[in-house]
């Protein structure tokens, strides 16, 4: 059984929050521990955002609850009316994460049958101790930098295999239907990397960088293009010279997929292949014409595939150089 970091933080935080609440002589000290349990999140940014929402939610909840308690009395009817009004308003203000916690604090007023300053302050202090403990614990987040770099290399490796498989399929060495497995594996890795990059970004409160988010977004866009090319490859049935030329481009790209490649030479090779296609003798049969059309479509798509990388490289070249110098 593996115990994750978030579980450890939750358990430790709940105990610390209850201890602090007891030390401060707060009533219903256990509630501080419950609030901590509900406030420990996967990222620093989410913890801080959630804390702000819960304080606003608590203020709104107590104000509405006191209104009904003072008019109707401290009874289940007042509490029901409070929920009837509070929940829609909280949802409208996007404070839904605080509905349960705030309502638990409101029950303290109901149980004590008092809306005095003491009990209202007690509610806010319980909230402060609970979310404050969660935020402090969440300040420690292990860096995902090493894992992100590993995923970069994995994606480049998987994409290389896909391109080499494309080359073999065009040369009729590999059956087109065998390409699905490599594309699926690449898809899984890209989605995993995207999620981790976003978590890493939300764990950096200062000196934030969009580099990894944009990098994996770039690879995701390229993956979409590869999926389209795979469909077209299944329609190329003839072993023509043009097939071989395009297959060579796939191989050349597979060998130069790394993030620091400005892809200028690849774009020049693609341009030369466009010229070769235009200057080649026209097809003489319908199958040859359809095969050439598919090849030309793939070349257009692959040109877009390379342009995606070029735009990314130009946008993040300076930031990448600074990262390498560090």
Closest CA to 303 of 258, 243, 250, 227: 250
Average pLDDT of the residues of the chain: 83
Last residue of a domain, one of 138, 165, 193: 138
Predicted local distance difference test score (pLDDT) of residue 205: 56
Q: Tell me, what's the pLDDT at 318?
A: 60
Q: Are residues 118 and 75 in the same domain?
A: yes
- Choice between 284 and 69, residue whose per-residue pLDDT is larger: 69
pLDDT, one tens digit per residue, over 79-89 is 999 999 999 99
| Mean pLDDT for the stretch of residues 242-248 | 79
Q: What pLDDT is recorded for position 289?
A: 74
Q: Which has the closest alpha carbon to 20: 98, 131, 120, 121?
A: 131
Number of domains in the chain: 2
Residue 196, pLDDT score:
84
- Render the burial of 137-154: b for 16+ CB within 10 Å, e for the rest: bbeebeebeeebeebbeb
State residue 203's pLDDT score: 67
Number of CB atoms found within 10 A of residue 182's CB:
21
Helix (H) or strand (E) run with residue 79 in it: helix 76-92
Residues 85 and 154 reside in one and the same domain:
no
The whole-number pLDDT of residue 74 equals 92
Q: Give the burial string for 260-278 (b: 16+ CB within 10 Å, else e).
A: ebebeebeebbeebeeeee
The pLDDT value recorded for residue 290 is: 75
The rounded distance, in Å, linking the Cα atoms of 231 and 138 is: 46
pTM score: 0.66
Same domain, 187 and 250: yes
61 lies in the same domain as 184? no
Predicted local distance difference test score (pLDDT) of residue 145: 78
**How many CA atoms within 13 Å lie on the side-chain side of 151?**
23
Model confidence at 323: pLDDT above 70: no
133-182 pLDDT, tens digit per residue, is 888 887 776 667 788 888 888 988 888 888 888 888 877 656 656 678 88
Q: Looking at residue 142, what is its pLDDT?
A: 65
pLDDT surpasses 70 at 208: no
Output the pLDDT for position 175: 63
Task: In whole angstroms, give the CA distance from residue 177 to residue 182.
Answer: 10
**Do 221 and 252 belong together in one domain?**
yes
Question: By the 8 A CB rule, do 280 and 312 touch?
Answer: no
Domain-ending residue, one of 102, 119, 138: 138
Please check whether residues 19 and 53 belong to one and the same domain. Answer: yes
**pLDDT at residue 284 is higher than 70:** no
Least Cα distance to 42 among 147, 195, 145, 159 occurs for 195
Q: Which domain holds residue 83?
A: 5-138
Dist. CA 205–CA 294, nearest whole Å: 48
**269 and 156 within one domain:** yes
Q: Is 27 helix (H, G, I), strand (E, B) or coil?
A: coil
* pLDDT bracket for residue 209 (50, 70, 90): low
Ranges 56-65, 121-130, 266-275: which has the least confidence: 266-275
So what's the pLDDT on residue 106?
93
Q: What is the mean pLDDT of residues 255-283?
A: 78
Distance CA 168, CA 25 (A): 73
Same domain (yes/no): 227, 292: yes
Q: Which domain-ending residue is among 74, 107, 138?
A: 138
Q: What is the CATH number of the domain that holds 281?
A: 1.20.120.940
Percent of the chain beyond pLDDT 90? 27
Among candidate residues 154, 230, 224, 138, the one with its CA nearest the CA of residue 192: 154
Distances (CA, A) of 78 to 32, 146, 306: 25, 54, 64
- Polymer length of the chain: 326
* Residues 118 and 152 reside in one and the same domain: no
Return the pLDDT at 254: 84
| Same-domain pairing of 294 and 156 | yes
**pLDDT-derived band at 30, boundaries 50, 70, 90:** very high
For residue 280, what are the CA distances in angstroms to 112, 125, 267, 277?
Answer: 89, 79, 20, 5
Note whether 89 and 156 are same-domain residues: no
| Total Cβ atoms within 10 A of residue 69 | 22
Same domain, 110 and 231: no
Determine the pLDDT at residue 326. 45
All residues at 6 or more sequence positions from 116 whose CB lies less than 8 Å from its CB, including other chains: none
């Amino acid at each position: 059984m593996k115990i994750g970091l978030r579980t450890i933080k939750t358990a430790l935080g709940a105990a610390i929050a209850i201890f602090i609440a007891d030390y401060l002589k707060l009533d219903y000290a256990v509630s501080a521990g419950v609030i901590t349990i509900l406030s420990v999140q996967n990222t620093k940014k989410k913890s801080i955002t959630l804390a702000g929402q819960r304080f606003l939610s608590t203020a709104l909840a107590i104000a509405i609850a006191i209104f009904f308690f003072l008019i109707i009395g401290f009874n289940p009817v007042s509490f029901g009316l409070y929920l009837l009004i509070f929940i829609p308003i909280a949802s409208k203000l996007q404070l839904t994460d605080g509905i349960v916690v705030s309502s638990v604090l409101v029950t303290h007023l109901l149980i004590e049958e008092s809306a005095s300053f003491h009990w209202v302050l007690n509610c806010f202090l319980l909230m402060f101790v609970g979310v404050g403990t969660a935020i402090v614990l969440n300040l420690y987040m292990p860096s995902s930098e090493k894992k992100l770099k590993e995923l970069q290399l994995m994606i480049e490796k998987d994409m290389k295999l896909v391109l080499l498989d494309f080359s073999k399929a065009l040369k009729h060495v590999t059956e087109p239907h065998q390409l699905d497995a490599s594309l699926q594996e690449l898809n899984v890795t890209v989605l995993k990397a995207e999620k981790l990059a976003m978590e890493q970004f939300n764990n950096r409160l200062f000196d934030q960088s969009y580099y990894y988010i944009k990098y994996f977004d770039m690879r995701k866009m390229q993956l979409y293009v590869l999926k389209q090319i795979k469909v077209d490859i299944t329609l190329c049935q003839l072993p023509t010279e043009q097939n071989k030329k395009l297959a060579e481009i796939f191989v050349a790209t597979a060998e130069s997929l790394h993030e620091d490649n400005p892809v200028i030479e690849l774009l020049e090779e693609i341009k030369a292949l466009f010229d070769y296609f235009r200057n080649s003798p026209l097809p003489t049969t319908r199958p040859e014409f359809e095969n050439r059309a598919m090849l030309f479509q793939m070349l257009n798509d692959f040109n877009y595939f390379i342009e995606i990388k070029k735009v990314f490289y130009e946008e993040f070249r300076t930031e990448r150089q600074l990262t390498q110098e560090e």
